[in-house]
A and B are shown apart, each in its own frame.
Chain A
Amino acid sequence: MSLLTVKNLNVAFRLGKQELPALMDVSFSLDRGERIAFVGESGAGKSILGFSIVNLISKPGYIQSGSIKLNKKEIIGLNRRQMQEIRGKRIAMIFQDPMMTLNPVLTIGQQLVEAIKSHTNITYRDAKNIAIEKLLSVQIASPERRFNQYPHELSGGMRQRVIIAAILLLNPDVIIADEPTTALDVTIQAEILQLLLEICKKNDVALILISHDLGIVSKVAERTLVMYAGRIVEEGPTLELINDPQHPYTQGLLNALPQMALPGQRLNQIKGSMPSLADRPSGCAFHNRCPYAMEKCKDQQPEFIHSGISTVSCFMIEEMLEEERNAQEGLL
């Protein structure tokens, strides 16, 4: 059953008289306990999407149209208090910088106890015990000592663990993790991801991972959505998407990875770069970087079509499938 359904979401920034679209017709759904990932280059709109879901888009940005349903209930247009309820208990967000969540002037213990006491009526002593138990469950050694420390006394990896502990207290249905390990060392990064994965599996929590590291995505997400210039351009099961990318942009992203070229050989770069909001090309926004671009790519927006097990919006794929179909009909 679908837990979260986003339909035709359009988000724009109002700059002076200009309306700059940041998300265009973004649609996807997430099942209970499912783990999906959004990938794409910097500026694709991944974070804007995350912020939109928890209604943290602030001026000059705003949601123009569309629908976001959680458990079949529309959450766009909820008032502040209702939204806070959802943000706390149903949807939790982990940011790249843990200090966006932690309060620097309170100890770890104060913050966790407060979180517990805010939704259950128990004594300080019991709350403290629960907090320490949660710190242990995210593999923080000597939790009694950490309980009395301030966020700045902890390393980046440990702070991210504290946040995961805090999220566990809230027991949400969905975690949105926006580049949660980008600022961490490889070994610590691997441990945090492992932890996040275990926790989601154990508690049947759904995960939306935002990342530009396809290696990480392949370890965590069952389904991957590729974003380019504010639109989803391809969606499919992660392993299929990585092994058989359809959209020319997805192909380009994968081909550019160092492991895709022989050691010492030139890497396959995608020409050009992600356009800024103000100069998004017409038609398929990727056409000025695409090796397969045709005339119609310049002024028409390709529709979503099924290609194998994936969904993709690209005229080249559309024509290819058409040809295949014709060839098959010719054989009959």
Chain B
Amino acid sequence: MTQIPLVQISHLEKTFTKDKGIFSPFRFNKGKFQRQQESVYALNGVNLTILKGETLCVVGETGCGKSTLARTLMGLTPPTSGEIHYLNDRIDHLDDNQRLLYRRRMQMVFQNPYASLNPRMTVYQTLREAISFHNPQMKRRNIDEKIEGLLNSVGLYADAMDRYPHEFSGGQRQRISLARALSVEPEFIVADEPLAALDVSVQAQVLNLMMDKQEEQDLTYLFITHDLAVVEHFATRVAVMYLGKVCELASRETLFSAPKHPYTKALLSAIPRLDTNAPELIRLSGEVPTPMEKPIGCVFQARCPDATPRCFSEPPIMKKQKDGSSIACHVHEEDQTS
């Protein structure tokens, strides 16, 4: 595969500030009284390159910033700082008009196809709207042909056209969202947990469809999931996130055969596998933290079974390993040097 970087994300940060409500205490800050605000550090300096034609899977626990990463990438929410490049153009902070150019090249598929399809539009109307928006000159007849072709390609028949989203099963709805994303012939699709609400049998349908389309149209995917069995099957490379940071980035083979970061190891040990000689569960102490404060040192310190004093004082940075993967962990570093 050619290694052309399609999207480059550097030092991306996103902080949400929430008013604590009318009862929150006032604070004297920088010369004026302010209501105390709560900050959520959803993205805490993410660096990631997405290569053309690959499937980059992003995994990590609830609240670690996966959806925020996807939404920032798509321009649905502006980053607090950092840069996003699409090929050679910088695409964070575009205005609406400039953004339109990219809407056609990048599309997003959401977890809940209920929420992302307009319930009052038939499948035909939904698809026609998307197509004619991006191809204003296209003739009605060509649009209709295209819609029929699209529906066929996602395994639905022409009689689906005049039905509304609620008349379809979960898997069919997710295929309709995919048809809508594909209708503008994008190069890059960001899929945020597209399989989460589906049965295994239906997951298989949707995954197969995504793989077929990738092959046919040379698509690039950023695929967010917490199902590691899916990752093991589908990913080219995997980025593991924890509390707003990428802590390990590796090819699929390397990640599953030689996980390095203590969090990745715990995550892999927790997959409920069918075989009986699965590895012993690595117990993490404590619950998934919320990113309300930036910890000094490593983001994983509170739950890490291997943490040393250094982990509480100095944040580890991503370092390239011999086998091509990158991880951010002091302990692993020391292992290697000793």
Contacts and interface: CB of A to CB of B under 8 A. Distances in A.
B226 interface: yes
Interface in B265-313: 266-267, 269-274, 276, 281, 283-288
A185 interface: yes
Contacts of B201: 41, 252-253, 256, 269-270, 273
Contacts, number: 113
Contact of B276 (A239, A259, A274): A239
Interface stretch (A12-20, A58-66, A115-123, A213-221): A213-221
B207 interface: yes
A270 B200 CA distance: 9
B217 interface: no
Interface in A127-161: 141, 155, 157-158
A278 interface: no
A330 interface: no
Chain B interface bracket (under 10, 10 to 19, 20 to 34, 35 or more) = 35 or more
Given A186-B61, A215-B274, A273 B232 contact: no
B270 A189 contact: yes
Nearest to B61: A185
A239 B273 CA distance: 12
Interface in B178-220: 199-205, 207-208, 211-212
Contacts of A185: 61-62, 226, 288
B203 A191 contact: no
Contacts of B170: 42
B91 to A, nearest CB: 29
- Greatest chain A CB density within 10 A among B201, B203, B204, B276 is at B201
Interface string B137-163: 000000000000000000000000000
A261 B226 contact: no
Contacts of A187: 61, 266-267, 270, 284, 288
Contact of A190 (B205, B274, B281, B287): B281
Given A155-B288, A186-B271, A189-B270, A259 B232 contact: yes
Nearest to A215: B272
A268 interface: yes
B288 A188 contact: yes
B289 to A, nearest CB: 9
Contacts of A191: 281, 283-284
- Greatest chain B CB density within 10 A among A216, A252, A258 is at A258
A141 B287 CA distance: 10
B62 A186 contact: no
B286 A190 contact: no
Nearest to B275: A218
A267 B204 contact: yes
- Greatest chain A CB density within 10 A among B172, B204, B288 is at B204
Contacts of A215: 229, 271-274
A266 interface: yes
Contact of B229 (A189, A218, A259, A270): A259
B169 interface: yes
Interface string A206-230: 0000001111101100000000000
Nearest to A213: B272
Interface of B: 61-62, 169-172, 199-205, 207-208, 211-212, 226, 228-230, 232-234, 252, 266-267, 269-274, 276, 281, 283-288
Given A218-B274, A258-B232, A259-B233, 11 more contacts: A141-B286, A188-B61, A194-B281, A212-B200, A215-B271, A239-B276, A252-B201, A257-B274, A258-B229, A267-B204, A274-B199
7 contacts: A155-B287, A157-B287, A187-B284, A215-B271, A263-B252, A267-B208, A268-B204
